[in-house]
Amino acid sequence: MRDPDAITKVVIVGGGTAGWMAAAALSRMSGSGLMEVTLVESDAIGIVGVGEATIPPIRHFNEIIGIDERDFIRATQGAFKLGIEFRGWTRPGHRYIHPFGPYGADIGAVKFHQHWLRMRAVGRAADIEDYNLCAVASRQGRFGPVAPQARSPLAQLHWAYHFDASLYAKYLRAFSEAHGVVRREGRITRVHQRAEDGFIEAVELESGERVEGELFIDCSGFRGLLIEQTLKAGYEDWTGWLPCDRAMAVPCAHGAEGLTPYTRSTAREAGWQWRIPLQHRVGNGYVYSSAHISDDEATATLLASLEGEAQADPRPLRFTTGQRKSAWVKNCVALGLASGFLEPLESTSIHMIQTGITRLLHLFPDRGFDARGIAEYNRLTARHAAQIRDFIILHYHANQRAGEPLWDACRTMAVPDSLQRRLDLFRLKGRISRDEDELFAEPSWLAVYLGQEVVPEGWDPIADAAPADDIAAALEQVRNAVLAGTASMPLHSDFIARHCRAHAA
Amino acid sequence: MSAPAILIAGGGMAGWTTALALARPFRGTGARIAVIDTPGPDVSLGPLAPAIATLPSAQDAHWALGLPEHRVVRAGRGAYRLGEFWRGWDGREAAAFLPFGEVGADIGGVRFHQQVARLQALGETASLADHALSSLAAAAGRFAIPPHDAADIRATLDHGLHLDAEALTGALLRPVALAMGVTRIEGGIGEVELCTDGLIAALRLDDGRRETADLFIDATGPDARLIGALEAAWEDEAAWEDWAALSPFDRAAAVIRPDTAEPAPFTRDAAHPWGWRRTMPLNGARGEIVMFASRHMKDERASQMMGGAEPAAVTSGRRLSPWTGNCVAVGAAAAIPDPLASAELALVHAAALRLARLVPWPGGWRAEAEEFNRLWRHETESARDFALLRHLLNRRPEKVWAAAREASAPEPMDRRLALFAARGRIIRTEHGLYDDALWARAFIALGARPRHHDPLADGLDAGMLKARSARIRELAARAAASMPRHGDFLARVNAQDGPR
Ligand SMILES: Cc1cc2nc3c(=O)[nH]c(=O)nc-3n(C[C@H](O)[C@H](O)[C@H](O)COP(=O)(O)OP(=O)(O)OC[C@H]3O[C@@H](n4cnc5c(N)ncnc54)[C@H](O)[C@@H]3O)c2cc1C
Q: Which atom of ligand 1 is nearest to the CA of A44?
A: 47
Q: Do B430 and A436 lie within an 8 Å CB cutoff?
A: yes
Per CB-CB distance under 8 Å, the chain B contacts of A429 are 360, 363
Which pLDDT tens digit goes with each residue over B319-353?
999 999 999 999 999 999 999 999 999 999 999 99
B357 to chain A: closest CA residue: A460
Best residue of B57, B425, B461, B465 to probe chain A, by most A CBs closer than 10 Å: B425
Tell whether B440 is covered by a domain: yes
Q: Which stretch of A426-430, A458-462, B91-95, B380-384 has the lowest confidence by average pLDDT? A: B91-95
Tell whether B53 is covered by a domain: no
pLDDT, average across residues B413-433: 90
Asked whether the predicted pLDDT for residue B111 surpasses 60, the reply is yes
B369 to chain A: closest CA residue: A425
Asked whether the predicted pLDDT for residue A1 surpasses 70, the reply is no
pLDDT, average across residues A394-422: 97
pLDDT, average across residues A326-333: 98
Tell whether B142 is covered by a domain: yes
Q: Which atom of ligand 1 is nearest to the CA of A338?
A: 26
**Å between B306 CA and nearest CA of chain A:** 42
Which pLDDT tens digit goes with each residue over A239-264?
999 999 999 999 999 999 999 999 99
**Of the partner residues B28, B431, B454, the one whose CB lies closest to the CB of residue A466:** B28
Q: Do A431 and B368 lie within an 8 Å CB cutoff?
A: yes
Tell whether B500 is covered by a domain: yes
| Backbone phi and psi for residue B278, each to the nearest 5 degrees, phi listed first | -115, 135
Strand partners, B258: B285
Strand partners, B218: B9, B329
Best residue of B57, B420, B428, B431 to probe chain A, by most A CBs closer than 10 Å: B428
Centre of ligand 1 to C-alpha B434, Å, is: 39
Q: Which residues contact B278 (CB under 8 A, 6 or more apart)?
A: B53, B267, B268, B269, B287, B288, B289, B290, B339, B340
Residues of chain B by 3-state class (helix, strand, coil), percent to 5: 40, 20, 40
Tell whether B201 is covered by a domain: no
Q: Which atom of ligand 1 is nearest to the CA of A48?
A: 29
The whole-model pTM stands at: 0.93
Q: Do A433 and B371 lie within an 8 Å CB cutoff?
A: yes
Residue A330 designated active-site: no
Q: How far is residue B146 CA from its own chain's centroid? A: 21
**How sure is the predictor about A153, in pLDDT bands with cuts at 50, 70 and 90?**
confident
User: For position A504, what pLDDT does the model report?
Assistant: 63
Average pLDDT of chain A to the nearest whole number: 94
Beta strand B83-87 pairing with B95-99: antiparallel
Task: Count each helix (H run) and each strand (E run) in chain A, helices first.
Answer: 14, 21
A349 lines ligand 1 (CB under 6 A): yes
Quick one: angle between helices A371-397 and A442-451, nearest 10?
A: 30
Contact indicator for B322, B374 with CB cutoff of 8 Å = no
The closest of A190, A172, A136, A178 to A31, measured between CA atoms, is: A178
User: For position B471, what pLDDT does the model report?
Assistant: 97
**Å between A441 CA and nearest CA of chain B:** 15
User: What's the longest Cα–Cα distance across chain A?
Assistant: 78
Sheet with strand B267-272: strands edge to edge = B95-99, B83-87, B267-272, B275-282, B285-292, B251-258, B312-313
% of residues, chain B, pLDDT over 70: 99
| Backbone phi and psi for residue B432, each to the nearest 5 degrees, phi listed first | -80, 170
Strand partners, A104: none
- Ligand 1, atom 16, lies closest to the CA of A51
- Ligand 1, atom 37, lies closest to the CA of A220
Which pLDDT tens digit goes with each residue over A471-497?
999 999 999 999 999 999 999 999 999
**Of the partner residues A1, A362, A370, the one whose CB lies closest to the CB of residue B418:** A370
pLDDT, average across residues B442-450: 94
Asked whether the predicted pLDDT for residue B20 surpasses 60, the reply is yes
The one-letter code for the residue type at A142 is R
A41 lines ligand 1 (CB under 6 A): yes
User: For position B499, what pLDDT does the model report?
Assistant: 46
Q: Do A462 and B430 lie within an 8 Å CB cutoff?
A: no
Q: Give the per-residue SS3 of A443-454.
A: HHHHHHHHHCCC
Q: Which atom of ligand 1 is nearest to the CA of A55?
A: 11
Tell whether B342 is covered by a domain: no
Q: Which atom of ligand 1 is nearest to the CA of A222?
A: 30
Asked whether the predicted pLDDT for residue B153 surpasses 80, the reply is yes
A15 lines ligand 1 (CB under 6 A): yes
The neighbour count for residue B18, using CB atoms within 10 Å, is 31
Separation CA A435–CA B487 (nearest Å): 41
A40 lines ligand 1 (CB under 6 A): yes
First to last CA, chain B: 44
Tell whether B25 is covered by a domain: no
CA distance to A48, A72, A483, B267, B498, per residue, from A16 (Å) = 7, 17, 41, 54, 60
Contact indicator for A122, A115 with CB cutoff of 8 Å = no
The domains located in chain A, with CATH, are: 9-52+164-238+321-387 (3.50.50.60), 82-159+416-492 (no CATH), 249-318 (no CATH)
Q: Do A6 and B458 lie within an 8 Å CB cutoff?
A: yes
Domain span at B442:
101-157+410-500
**How sure is the predictor about A2, in pLDDT bands with cuts at 50, 70 and 90?**
low
% of residues, chain B, pLDDT over 90: 87
Q: Do B1 and A461 lie within an 8 Å CB cutoff?
A: yes
Centre of ligand 1 to C-alpha A72, Å, is: 20
Q: How far is residue A341 CA from its own chain's centroid? A: 11
Centre of ligand 1 to C-alpha A144, Å, is: 31
CA distance to A17, A246, B10, B12, B435, per residue, from B32 (Å) = 58, 57, 16, 19, 37
Q: Which helix (H) or strand (E) segment is A86 a member of?
A: strand A83-87
pLDDT, average across residues B462-482: 96
Separation CA B293–CA B247 (nearest Å): 9
Per CB-CB distance under 8 Å, the chain B contacts of A366 are 422-423, 452, 455
Separation CA A170–CA B371 (nearest Å): 46
User: For position A111, what pLDDT does the model report?
Assistant: 94
User: For position A4, what pLDDT does the model report?
Assistant: 81
**Å between A6 CA and nearest CA of chain B:** 7
Q: How far is residue A209 CA from its own chain's centroid? A: 36
Asked whether the predicted pLDDT for residue B498 surpasses 60, the reply is no
Strand partners, A188: A205
Sheet with strand A200-205: strands edge to edge = A188-193, A200-205, A210-212
Per CB-CB distance under 8 Å, the chain A contacts of B3 are 461, 464
Asked whether the predicted pLDDT for residue B234 surpasses 80, the reply is yes
Which pLDDT tens digit goes with each residue over A31-69?
777 899 999 999 999 888 887 999 999 999 998 888 899
Asked whether the predicted pLDDT for residue A30 surpasses 80, the reply is no
CA distance to A75, A251, A308, per residue, from A502 (Å) = 6, 17, 20
Centre of ligand 1 to C-alpha A185, Å, is: 17
Beta strand A9-13 pairing with A36-41: parallel
Per CB-CB distance under 8 Å, the chain A contacts of B450 are none
- The reply to whether ipTM tops 0.85 is yes
Centre of ligand 1 to C-alpha A350, Å, is: 10
Q: Is B63 buried (19+), middle (13-18) or exposed (0-12) by CB count in 10 A?
A: exposed
Q: Which residues contact B179 (CB under 8 A, 6 or more apart)?
A: none
**Å between A328 CA and nearest CA of chain B:** 16
Centre of ligand 1 to C-alpha A164, Å, is: 13
A285 lines ligand 1 (CB under 6 A): yes
**Å between B204 CA and nearest CA of chain A:** 27
User: For position A67, what pLDDT does the model report?
Assistant: 86
Q: Total domain count for chain B?
A: 1
A283 lines ligand 1 (CB under 6 A): no
**Å between B255 CA and nearest CA of chain A:** 36
**Å between A210 CA and nearest CA of chain B:** 26
Q: Do A461 and B367 lie within an 8 Å CB cutoff?
A: no
Catalytic residue among A81, A170, A325, A429: A81
Asked whether the predicted pLDDT for residue A9 surpasses 50, the reply is yes
Q: Give the per-residue SS3 of B390-451.
A: HHHCCCCCCHHHHHHHHCCCCCCHHHHHHHHHHHCCCCCCCCCCCCHHHHHHHHHHCCCCCC
- Three-state SS at B364: coil
- Ligand 1, atom 53, lies closest to the CA of A317
Tell whether B387 is covered by a domain: no
Which pLDDT tens digit goes with each residue over B286-323?
999 999 999 999 999 999 999 999 999 999 999 999 99
- Ligand 1 pocket test, pick from A11, A47, A184 with the greatest ligand atom count within 8 Å of Cβ, gives A47
The neighbour count for residue B186, using CB atoms within 10 Å, is 12
- Ligand 1 pocket test, pick from A13, A21, A43, A50 with the greatest ligand atom count within 8 Å of Cβ, gives A50
**Of the partner residues A373, A435, A461, the one whose CB lies closest to the CB of residue B419:** A373
Which pLDDT tens digit goes with each residue over B172-192?
999 999 999 999 999 999 999
Q: Which residues contact A437 (CB under 8 A, 6 or more apart)?
A: B428, B430
A217 lines ligand 1 (CB under 6 A): no
User: For position A156, what pLDDT does the model report?
Assistant: 85
**Of the partner residues B25, B27, B364, the one whose CB lies closest to the CB of residue A428:** B364
Separation CA B267–CA B162 (nearest Å): 8
A54 lines ligand 1 (CB under 6 A): yes
User: For position A505, what pLDDT does the model report?
Assistant: 46
